[in-house]
Amino acid sequence: MAESKLDIILEFSGGAETLFEGIKKRTVSLNGNKKWTVKEFLVYLKNELLKGNEELFIQADSVRPGILILINDTDWELMGELDYELQHKDNILFISTLHGG
């Protein structure tokens, strides 16, 4: 069976991009033959793309407090948070509200 692709548009803002090589927007292609939840996607991000200090982005099996997630311009809390199943061409935006002072 041919492998299908699940393309996700990934964006970072508010300083979160510094943890991901400063890239603010990219498309990632996931194995479309399996179902991907946000929880599984966060593991992928941590293992494959995160270049900065992990503790500034991940806490336990979720994002740390102060990181907002929008899925297709909607707060992820309205989408099912970690259990939301990613769809082809979903746009996921991570916004850091944490700032030094």
Task: Give domain status of residue 75, yes or no.
Answer: yes
Domain with residue 74: its CATH number is 3.10.20.30
Mean pLDDT of 70-99: 95
Q: What gap in Å lies between CA 65 and CA 67, rounded to an integer?
A: 6
As a whole-number percent, the residues of the chain with pLDDT over 90 amount to 88
Mean pLDDT of 40-69: 94
Q: Is 69 in a helix, a strand, or coil? A: strand
Range of the domain at 80: 33-101
pTM of the model as a whole: 0.91
Q: What pLDDT score was predicted for residue 100?
A: 56
Residue ranges of the alpha helices (H) in the chain?
38-44
Q: Answer whether residue 64 shows pLDDT above 90.
A: yes
Q: What gap in Å lies between CA 23 and CA 26, rounded to an integer?
A: 7
Tell me the pLDDT tens digit for each residue of 4-31.
899 999 999 999 999 999 999 999 999 9
